[in-house]
Amino acid sequence: TALVAMHCGVAPSAELPANEYPTAARADYVFGCMQVNGQTRDALERCSCSIDVIASLLPYEQYEEAETVMRVRQRGGKNASMFLTMPMLRATVDELKRAQIEAELRCF
């Protein structure tokens, strides 16, 4: 599969840099962004720009962790309160929020 990937111009996944986000993660972000910003070509381009900026600022593992924390917080309940009080998790979410603000400034 590495030979096929190299032939298609895609690096094997084991050699991807830390900020290389999986296509599905990028698509999920763009779909969610477009729900908020409109289902237009302009929104598609701006939302794609936004996830590219975030990916340039935040390694995927950190992005994934922050997204998970934010989803749990939105659900509420006992588990959410744990995620609200842990300083390390709060810092991870804060880094994502900073990256999102930078993306907003650059793309919108």
Using 50, 70 and 90 to split pLDDT, how confident is the model at 45? very high
Per-residue pLDDT averaged across 60-72, rounded?
Answer: 93
Q: Helices 60-75 and 41-57 sit at what angle, rounded to 10 degrees?
A: 110
Give the CA distances from residue 59 to residues 25, 44, 54, 62, 64, in Å, rounded to whole numbers and listed in that order. Answer: 13, 23, 9, 6, 9
Whole-prediction pTM = 0.77
Per-residue pLDDT averaged across 62-74, rounded?
Answer: 90
DSSP reduced 3-state for 108: coil
Per-residue pLDDT averaged across 70-77, rounded?
Answer: 81
pLDDT in tens, 74-90: 887 776 666 666 788 88
